[in-house]
A and B are shown apart, each in its own frame.
Chain A
Amino acid sequence: MPKKAPPTAIKEQSMEIQKSMIADNFRQLYDAPKTDQKVVSTFVPGNLNELLMCFDFARNLPEINALQNAMRKRTGRMIMEAERAGHSEDVCTYVKADLGMMAQGNIGPTGEALPTPDLLLLSYTGCFTFMKWFELVREQYKCETAMLHVPYQGDGVITPNMREYVVKQLKEDIIPTLERVSGVKFDIDRLRQYLRQSAKAEEDLVWVLQSAKNKPSPIDAYFGGVYYVGPIFSSFRGSEGAAEYYAMLRKEVEERVRLGKGPVTPEGEMPEEKYRLVVEGPPNWTHFREFWKMFYEEGAVVVASSYTKVGGVYDFGFRHDPDNPIETLADYCLGCYTNLNLPHRADMLSQYVEEYEADGLLINSIKSCNSFSAGQLLLLREVEKRTGKPGAFIETDLVDPRYFSAANVKNRLESYFQMIKQKREGNAPLGAAA
């Protein structure tokens, strides 16, 4: 009997536009060798998109490739290919999916070939693995690599020394390299113009994310949120297209708030909001829709998430500042979520639980991502202690299908929802459902 095709997902208009923007970027990358456009590969957290646009680079983001491949169920084979080539089972699956994709001909998620980059811009922000990842791909591409070392906020603050260090690297190392590789002279006014667009988009994105304070929440700030942050976290921040997208998204969500509607799920509008959650950690990409379904089937809405801050924390006031173009890039890089120390992350998550009137904190702990995951069990306890709301802990992976156990995850989620329900009725002790 032929396998039944999954039903077509229902999407908001903004999701369709976002999908088309991402597809356009893959097309631009595919065309780059023909159009003679220079290509840079760089990471999502701490990406310098506005700066790269000043040099007319096409931007390739390896994490986006990996997650897009995962959503298309392709990463399992890629990861095994990398493991056959000698990479340990223990290490980051984003890296192995990328290396496996390269080994299989470097065909991107849309089926179009990805070009050899002219430059690897290693923005070493909030993740140690990034450094090794680009050393590994550098070995394959044999292209130039520029390193931007972004210090960690160990004490929970950005010190003048940290900012100055990043600014100096940008001025004396990164910008001259970008000029040399691209052949385009740096124009600071062009950068300012892009930064203005970024700030506009950021303003609208924050409005959209904070709309989840409404009851019911008009959005799902995790599963829906990953669509919303797609353009601003990847190769569109600073572009007119991104600013237009976020203005349009805001209007769409404003309308949902006006009508008192809940989020749109792949199976249509969510009829009733039963549980409001804050989620810490990235989603699983290989079973994204199945994972989401476990929430919306139970009436659970994610009202705030840390993952939607991984490419920039905007909801505490930061906006790209065109009046201080280089310094603002430094502050952006230094302020990404995984560059914050654990006490700061505990503060943020507790604040989310309180401000979004959530029922508790759910942690999706990712096997591959020590940057997020190491210390999450303490975070859970800390947030529970501060908010008095119960937490739960599930474990999956980013792009390795071997580490998604649907039955286990579903079981834990159901127990958690049960616990919240009982707590509301006043007869459950506080404790994690993990």
Chain B
Amino acid sequence: MTDKTQKTTADISAKLETGNSSKTSLMYRKNLKDIVAYCQELFDDLDFKAVKSWKEAKPGRKVIGYMPVYVPREIIHAAGMLPVGIMGGGDQLEVIHGDAYYQSYICRIPRSTIELGVTGRLDVLDGMLFPSICDVIRNLSGMWKLMFKDKYVRYFDVPQNYEDEIGGKFYIHEMQTLRDDFAKLVGHEITDDDLRNSIAVYNENRKAVEELYAFRAKGPWKAPSTEVYLLVRAGMVLPVEEHTQLLKDYLEVAAVEDRPVRDNCRVVVSGVFCEQPPFNMIKSIEMAGCYIVDDDFMLVTRWLLQEVPISGDPLENLSKAFLHHSNDTAAKYEPDVDKKGKYLIDSVRDNSAEGIIFAGPSFCDPALLDRPMLQNALAAKDIPFTSFEYAENSGQMQPIREQAGTFADSIKLWSA
């Protein structure tokens, strides 16, 4: 390690210990009820008040929105901007304008995102990133360019070739373009040290999210998935430092909370990586007798699977993490046929799950086209699964509750 790198690493550690450059301002008392209520409030707020407060707290602050599944939020953070995850409108947003932009056979998330945009709820954003996930989100980037001409809009492509010298070089260049664009937007350079600092901050956050998931997998009665969901979702609008603190606080209080153990089976939920299901769907799965022990909600928080090194070239480090140590999902190409679905089988094993619930958004090409292949992989390992579709605004949960309940019963009865 060079002297310069040693110094940089030490600086970053020092910054982390002092809470980095962002002063935390969490608005809850450190008890379970308050933490969950705070997250629920953030979740329910379709006007992004928390984001507005952050922006108004200091003149010149800027905010960049991003859609699922993954963008390197470190670059936004390094520019001093707030990354905000736009996860659609859920089941509480009345979509009036958004439906006029789409045919009946297109999924819900672009409609509600447009609704949020045209009703001014996203005015707080200075830019939007549309990651490479599917043709609908891809085309939404062009719609955004046509509809919101005064905003920074970028389709963010990620490589489907995982060679450092091929896909890696392309990806580093794409990230560099983003870095240059953001530097123009904020009016100052984004240095390597800025990026290293942000990588470290996000490493902390990823660690905290992983701890939360591990905590739930170990004792799912102690961390209901409704709470885990809200906690992770809070990370879509909070500054990352505050979100990390929030997770740590929750873990501390949840560990000592006495909660009854139910005779539930343990399941992994798969397919929910883009359009988010109604909150009631998560509740319904749990009420039907299933503990969710792993899922692919808001994968951006768990995309990179290992700590990203903070020494060396930061963009190269982010690239290597993406190419070699990132999560699997339908939006990614799997070059090795034998590895198709392996991540789900691993998840079942690592989390002692007993089955998989495939919950795919209606009209979601990635999730629904991937599903039969994943099911074949599971069937080969005798892992039980069930499947259904949802929309972010689905109101009727009874069929889902019944299906999940039957699945849970079948596991308990026949998988012993």
Contacts and interface: CB of A to CB of B under 8 A. Distances in A.
Contacts, number: 169
Contact of A395 (B103, B132, B365): B103
Contacts of A374: 102, 106, 110, 135-136, 138-140
B368 interface: yes
A172 B333 contact: no
Interface in A198-229: none
A345 B177 CA distance: 24
Contacts of A129: 135, 365, 369
Nearest to B330: A132
A376 B375 CA distance: 33
B34 to A, nearest CB: 41
Interface stretch (A9-17, A58-66, A134-142, A252-260): A134-142
A169 interface: yes
B161 A132 contact: no
B368 A152 contact: no
A88 B373 contact: no
Interface in A58-90: 85-88, 90
B389 interface: yes
Interface string B125-159: 00000101111101111110111000000111101
A154 B146 CA distance: 12
A120 B385 CA distance: 30
Contact of A147 (B132, B145, B333, B366): B333
A169 B368 CA distance: 29
B410 interface: no
Given A132-B370, A147-B333, A155 B376 contact: no
B165 interface: yes
Given A342-B139, A370-B139, A374-B110, A132 B147 contact: no
A137 B167 CA distance: 24
A139 B135 contact: no
A319 interface: no
B269 to A, nearest CB: 17
Interface string B331-357: 101110100100000000000000000
Given A168-B165, A395-B103, A95 B141 contact: no
Interface residues of B, number: 60
Centre residue among B100, B155, B165, B369 by max chain A CB count within 10 A: B369
A266 interface: no
A128 B161 contact: no
Contact of B340 (A91, A139, A149, A378): A139
B389 A90 contact: yes
Pick the most buried of B135, B140, B154, B337: most chain A CB atoms within 10 A of its CB.
B135
B143 A90 contact: no
A346 interface: yes
B219 to A, nearest CB: 34
Contact of A161 (B170, B331, B334): B170
Interface string A387-411: 0000000010000000000000000
B373 A139 contact: yes
Contacts of A395: 103
Given A343-B142, A370-B135, 17 more contacts: A88-B368, A88-B389, A91-B368, A92-B369, A128-B133, A128-B138, A128-B331, A129-B365, A131-B333, A132-B365, A145-B335, A152-B155, A173-B161, A341-B141, A343-B145, A374-B140, A377-B103
Interface of A: 85-88, 90-92, 95, 122, 124, 127-129, 131-133, 135-136, 138-139, 142, 145, 147, 149, 151-152, 154-155, 161-162, 164-165, 168-169, 172-173, 341-346, 365, 367, 370-371, 373-378, 382, 395
